Amino acid sequence: MAWAGLLPGQADVHSTPDLMLELNQLSEPVAQLAGALAGQQHRLRDLIQQAQARFAAHARVSEDLKEKRARAADADKSWRGAEPLGPRLDAVRSLPAAPAAATLIASDGSQIYPDPHAVALYYLLNVGSIVLRQGSGEAPSTGTSSRLFFNDRDLYDERERLIDTDKVNAERDLWELERLAELAAAERAALGGDLSRPLVALDDGPLLLWMPQRLSDVQQVRRVEQFARPLDELRRMQAIPLGYIDRPRSANVLRLLQVADLPLEQISQQSVRRNQYRGLSDRLLFDALLQPGQRSTLFAVTSDINDSYEQQGHRIAFCYLNVARPEAVGARAARVVRVELPLWAAADEDRLDAALAAVWHDAWLRGYPYVLTRAHELAVVSHHERATLEQMLQIELMRAGLTGEISAKQQNKNDVSGRR
C-alpha cells in the first residue's frame, strides 16, 4: 500500500502512514518554482541576446582584448575568464563527416565513501572501462577494477582526520585517468606501434582538476603532479585525452566578454567579480553558432591550477562542440558540450578534429557518448552489490574474532527503508 498516498484526491496524509514525502504540501512551491523559472527565462532571453551581440562585437581577438584579459587575471586571482588561443572568438571548425576509424577508450569511476556507521571503516573505488575499436565489427573490450582502502594512512589525513569525500573523489578521478593511460599503452602496443589510428581517451568530466580551497599551494601542486603522470603517458602513446562535459555550466567566455566591455583602467578586483551574465553559460552563445559536427576555436582557462598544469607540460584548453545528429539543425536542436584537452593534443588540429569526430559519431546513438555510458554502467556499485560486500566483510571480521556490526542508527535506517 505504499502507493496509496500518491493517489490524487487523498488529502489526509495522516491516514496513509507509508507516505514519507508529503507531496500535497509541495504542490504550491512546485508551481511557484515553475513560475519563477518562466520569469527567469524572459530575463535570460534578453541577456543572451545582449551577450551574443557583445560576442559578435569582440569577435576579433585584438591586442586590447588580450591586455584586458591579462589585467583581469592580475586584478583577481579567482577570475576564470577564457584566454582565446586563436585570432577570432567566433571561429568555427567543421569536423570531418567521415573520419578514419578511431579507437575510443573510456573510463568512469564510482565509490563507496568511508562511513563510520558501516561494519568497518573503509572506502571503495570501482573503475569501469571500455575500448571500442570503430569499424572493427568486434565487441569492445570491457573491464572493471575495484580497490578497497582500509589502512590508516589511506583513511586519515596528515592532521589525523578522517578523509572527506573530496579526497576520495580525487583518488577516483586519478585512477580513471591512470586506467585510460594503461589502456592506451596496451592499444598502441596491440597496433604494433602504428601511429596512424587515432586513440581517443575519453574521461567523464573536466580534465582540469577542481581543488578544494582549503588545500595549501604545495598540496595543490602535488596533486597536479599526480595527474600529470598519466597525461605524460598518454602523450607518449600519442593518444588524445578528452574530458567530456555534458550540459556545461561554465562561463569562461562570458567572463571574458564582460571584461572586454570595461575600459582598461576600470578593471579591478571589484569590477571583474561583478557577474553581469549571472545565470548564463557559454553554451548558450555557441548553441546559435555551431552546426552539428562543428566546434569552436580553442580557449584556455585562466587559473593558478592551469598554471601548475602548464609547468607539468599540460596546459588545459577547451572548446565547445555540437554533438547533435547531422539532421538536427538549428540552435534549439543544438547539443553543445564542452571538451577539455591538454594543449599538446591540439598541436595538429586535423588530428584533434578526427578524434572529436569519432566522439561525435559515438554520441549519435544516444546524444551522449556510448562509451561513457557503458563505462559508467561498468563502474557503478549497486545497493545490492554494496550489501553483499558488507556481508563478506562481516563474515571475515567474525572469522578474525572481531565483531563487525553496523551502527544502531544505520540498522534502524535500513529497517525502515526496507519497506519502501
Partner 1 sequence: MQASVERTQLGRVLRAGTAAFTVGCRTAEAALPRFGALVRAEAAAGQAVYGLIYDVCVDDDPFVRQLLAAGDLTAEYVADQRERRQVPVEVRVLVVGGQDAAGRMFRYLPPQPPATLSWVTLAAPDEVRAFGARLDFLTTLLNALEAPGDELAAATLRQIAAAEDNQEAERRYLVAAGRELARLLSRDPVRLNAILQRLR
Cα–Cα dist 84/242, whole Å: 19
Q: Exposure string (b/e) for 114-147, b if CB count within 10 Å is 16 or more?
A: bbeebbbebbbbbbbbbbbbbeeeeebeeeebee
Return the number of the residue (130 or 228) whose C-beta is nearest partner 1.
130
Residues 347-366 that bind partner 1 (CB under 8 A): 364-366
CB of 201 to partner 1, least distance (A): 18
Chosen residue from 374, 379, 389, 390 binding partner 1 by CB under 8 A: 374
Query: Does 103 sit near partner 1 (CB under 8 A)?
Result: no
Return the number of the residue (130 or 290) whose C-beta is nearest partner 1.
130
The phi and psi torsions of 209 (rounded to 5 degrees) equal -65, 145
Chosen residue from 35, 39, 135, 212 binding partner 1 by CB under 8 A: 135
- By residue count, the chain amounts to 420
Return the DSSP state at 132: E
> Chain-centre distance of CA 14, in angstroms?
43
The phi and psi torsions of 192 (rounded to 5 degrees) equal 65, 30
Q: Name residue 144's beta-bridge partners.
A: 128
Query: Does 184 sit near partner 1 (CB under 8 A)?
Result: no
C-alpha cell at 59: 569577435
* Options 53-61, 92-100, 126-134, 182-190: segment touching partner 1 (CB under 8 A): 126-134
Return the number of the residue (144 or 410) whose C-beta is nearest partner 1.
144
Return the number of the residue (113 or 364) whose C-beta is nearest partner 1.
364
Query: Does 370 sit near partner 1 (CB under 8 A)?
Result: yes
Q: Residue 346: helix, strand or coil by DSSP? A: helix
Query: Does 137 sit near partner 1 (CB under 8 A)?
Result: yes
C-alpha cell at 263: 575600459
Return the number of the residue (149 or 364) whose C-beta is nearest partner 1.
364
Query: Does 377 sit near partner 1 (CB under 8 A)?
Result: yes
CB of 255 to partner 1, least distance (A): 36
Chosen residue from 136, 269, 270, 407 binding partner 1 by CB under 8 A: 136
Query: Does 333 sit near partner 1 (CB under 8 A)?
Result: no
Cα–Cα dist 131/373, whole Å: 13
For helices 63-75 and 252-260, what crossing angle results, to 10°?
110
Residues that bind partner 1 (CB under 8 A): 130, 132-140, 142, 364-366, 370, 373-374, 377
